[in-house]
Structure 1
Amino acid sequence: MRRAFLLGTLLLWTTGCGEDAPGAPPPPPRAGGEMTVDDRTSLAFMQPAANLLAENDRKHRDGDSAFEAIFVPSPSPVNPGLGPVYNNTSCNSCHLRNGRGMPVMGPGPQRTQLLVRVSLPDGTPEHPGGAVPVPGLGLQVQDQANYGVKPEASVTLSWDETTGSYPDGSPYSLRAPRVAIVPTDGSALPAGMLVSLRLPPPVFGLGLLEAVDIATLQAMADPDDRDRDGISGRVNEVWNVVTRTLTPGRFGWKANSPNLKQQSAEAYFNDMGISSPLFPEPDGTHELEAKTLDAAVFYAQSLGVPARTALDDAEVQQGERLFRSLGCVQCHREELTTGEHEVKEVAHQRIHPYTDLLLHDMGPGLADGRPDGAATGTEWRTPPLWGLGLTHTVLPFTGFLHDGRARSIEEAILWHGGEAEKAREGFRALKAAERAALLRFLGSL
């Protein structure tokens, strides 16, 4: 009798306490939906999705091998095709542990993982929707070369430092990069050459971002700022090399690639000098096998997203409220839903990437002056913030923003301008404890 009473009491207590029960708190946000992994170590960005199907485990591991493969000059029985000029020898060389690159690699000469995009300010592009290549440099400066070959140019990096202070008197310091490009053939750089520094971005979670419907992006866009809130995000239009048409872009610092396959093929071609089915040699042949390209793409699509931490921490919760009240979520959208996708694991997921994948005018402070597709010289795509707090755990000396100028999340905020100027000034006006709370929240992502 006592057992029946206890069982009945237990059933009464649990009734209505499920996820759908009235008044029950919502479940904690899972950054990558079912792809979320509970890992906050230096290997957090390297984990396969938690929901990876058994039949895709081998594909993911093959992709991991492709991502780490070191290429060498032809002829070679293994991984041929490097160069003759290039920036790096593998995908992993730019995205160490699947994180972002380092603006400066250790002490001594300022060797950098920044990619230097260049183009001419006017002229006739060689293909529709393309930028105008610089004679001798093309569209990206390759500062490395195979034995016996000269690189296109040497690239050195220095920094201009400025100081400022918050209204409460607390000081801060910001730095901006200065790049020097010296062609190895002794030629002069063309007048007005456009230069844009690009830090290799993190690799994880990209499959989920690819699975967000174009209609969702277009619904968030407000290019004419019809609601007069000062935020006018828009979708980039970029050249799709497969369909030979202009299509919406979503990957890269200016949303200048339409999908992961093209972005990966562009990296092989521009960063390693390796031709592929998407970017073949003039005679139609290519060095990279189609299966290797597909494997590398699947690896990026099937990586998990690290879970948030400290959800119950009062300071983190305060910082999250401030993040919302300052209007940061107008661009760094908290929640998106994915649609149909050929990779089942990424389809129909409720995710929290903190991005709208749209272009926004970030003001003159961050401007590179170089158009990319339909993106202007002051526009940048909103970067996702998931995993932000693990950036220096994964790679301690990397930087933030498109060119790695920000040494901390705080510096990154202080560089915001244009459409984000109001939010930046709101951050500057906070009390020191409130600024600390907001930064603690961002560190929990």
Structure 2
Amino acid sequence: MRKKLLVLTGIAASMLLYLSCNKVFPDAPSDDQILDGPIEGLTPDQTRIFLQGDVAFNDEIFTTEKGLGPLFVANSCGSCHAGDGKGHPFTTLTRFGQTDTISNQFLHSGGPQLQNRAIVGFQPEQIPAGATFSKFTPPANTGLGLLEAVSDATLLALSDPNDANGDGISGRPNWISTPQYSLIRTGAAIKNGKYIGRFGKKAAVYDLMQQTVNAYNQDMGINSTYEHYDTYNGHEVNPEVSNQTVLAVIFYLQTLKAPIQRNINDQDVQAGKQLFINNGCASCHTPQMQTGHSNIAALSNKTFFPFTDLLLHDMGVGLDDGYTEGTALTSEWRTPPLWGLGLSKNSQGGQYFLMHDGRAKSIEEAILMHGGEGGQSKSNFQNLSQVEKARLIKFLESL
């Protein structure tokens, strides 16, 4: 009898523990509430590489023993992209040194990125006298592989540098020089020896390889075989991260899923989308795009909804920081993708920090900062009723 009682007591305790854990641990968030996770269609081998890249991106923390610095901004990839989302003012980068479309005149002084932290025994950088600068808040990472797989022909078809259709929108590519290690995409457009950039606030980064290699080198002071020049000492140094790790991180960024829109059947969301289009917002924030061929089959010939044209647009004097990259003017900015916008607060401490430098604390504030080519859309928004404004913003929050 005593043995049976002990057994029953053990079962009861186990059941109590099970029920307690169910109450303590929350349910896993649904896919449309998070930005992390792979795209559908990866092979088992590709999933393995994705997971390797995930660990390197989100779990690897660099120390001086692992090559951090001597000058740096952050000590891990994930510290600037929590949950693969947007950055915070505390993780915002400072870029400096280029005032026109010719070249950066302060590369010898550490440009284009300010490394404002240093390991023991070294002094962090300061912005040199006479250099203009701008703040760049880290973007969300999701869906980048789809954007990379869009053909140059598609971007050229969206561009209208001379505003031939008279709508006041004159988006154009940023023609840039590519690093030697970049793999030029099939069918790439070329103009005066330059190629179309598509990543970064100024669209001055060609592909995710350049983005990743630059991040290791400029953000963390970590050298690779692709970029192994120590800006502090002025000479080449040995690689501090393996090619395998760099390539795994690139693959991870290429194969992160696209953000999933929420509440798509909500009548206010649907009405807000129509207002978004009617107001002219979709002229730059192109709702739908199509990828071309990709070496990653899961990315090939896919229709997706990023709400960007990846082109440069003049946003007016209010957003002109006097700094630029590539052949962009100082007042020109790449149209940022709007997908994932409604989840931005999750990685920004519960508050929005929007526009290129996080200066806007709400979606409405960001809209009202539009000038230049975005000025008419801003005026159209201001003329909406409060109900219509709320619907438009509800639509944007659903993305």
Common topology (TM > 0.5): yes
Q: What's the CA shift for 1:113?
A: 1.2
Matched, 1:60 2:50: yes
Q: What's the CA shift for 1:130?
A: 4.3
Matched, 1:92 2:78: yes
- Corresponding residue to 1:235 among 168, 173, 182: 173
> Equivalent pairs: percent with the same residue?
42
Matched, 1:190 2:116: no
- Residue 248 of structure 1 aligns to a residue in which SS? strand
- Aligned 8 A contact 1:102 1:397 in 2: no
The 1:284–1:88 alpha-carbon spacing in structure 2 relative to 1, beyond 3 Å, is closer
- Residue 94 of structure 2 aligns to a residue in which SS? strand
Matched, 1:261 2:209: yes
Matched, 1:217 2:155: yes
Q: How does 1:7-406 map to 2 (within 5 A)?
A: 39-41=31-33, 44-68=34-58, 69-73=60-64, 76=65, 80-103=66-89, 112-119=90-97, 121=99, 130-133=103-106, 136-153=109-126, 189-191=128-130, 193-242=131-180, 246-281=194-229, 282-283=235-236, 285-395=238-348, 396-406=350-360
Which letter does structure 1 place at the counterpart of 2:327?
A
The 1:314–1:257 alpha-carbon spacing in structure 2 relative to 1, beyond 3 Å, is same
Tell me, in whole angstroms, the C-alpha distance in 2 between the residues paired with 1:313 and 1:365: 35
Which letter does structure 1 place at the counterpart of 2:311?
L
Tell me, in whole angstroms, the C-alpha distance in 2 between the residues paired with 1:335 and 1:406: 25
- Aligned 8 A contact 1:130 1:239 in 2: no
- Aligned 8 A contact 2:88 2:347 in 1: no
In the superposition, the TM-score normalised over structure 1's length comes to 0.76
Aligned residues: 354
CA deviations 1:101-150 (Å, max 9, x no partner) are 101xxxxxxxx21111111548xx9xxx7412265443221111112222
- Aligned 8 A contact 1:120 1:134 in 2: no
Q: What's the CA shift for 1:95?
A: 0.8
Q: What's the CA shift for 1:315?
A: 0.9
Question: Match of 2:6?
Answer: none
Tell me, in whole angstroms, the C-alpha distance in 2 between the residues paired with 1:229 and 1:250: 23
Q: Which has the higher strand share?
A: 1
Question: Match of 1:17?
Answer: none
Q: What's the CA shift for 1:317?
A: 1.1
Tell me, in whole angstroms, the C-alpha distance in 1 between the residues paired with 2:103 and 2:54: 31
Question: Match of 1:427?
Answer: 381
Q: What's the CA shift for 1:290?
A: 1.0
In the superposition, the TM-score normalised over structure 2's length comes to 0.85
- Residue 91 of structure 2 aligns to a residue in which SS? coil
- Aligned 8 A contact 2:149 2:291 in 1: yes
Which letter does structure 1 place at the counterpart of 2:331?
T
- Residue 380 of structure 1 aligns to a residue in which SS? strand
Q: What's the CA shift for 1:273?
A: 1.0
- Aligned 8 A contact 2:148 2:207 in 1: yes
Q: What's the CA shift for 1:52?
A: 2.7
Structure 1: unaligned runs, 5 residues or longer: 1-36, 104-111, 154-180, 182-188
Tell me, in whole angstroms, the C-alpha distance in 2 between the residues paired with 1:49 and 1:134: 38
CA deviations 1:387-428 (Å, max 9, x no partner) are 111111343235111000011111111111100100000000
Q: Please give the root-mean-square deviation of Cα atoms over the aligned residues, in Å.
A: 1.9
- Aligned 8 A contact 2:86 2:140 in 1: yes
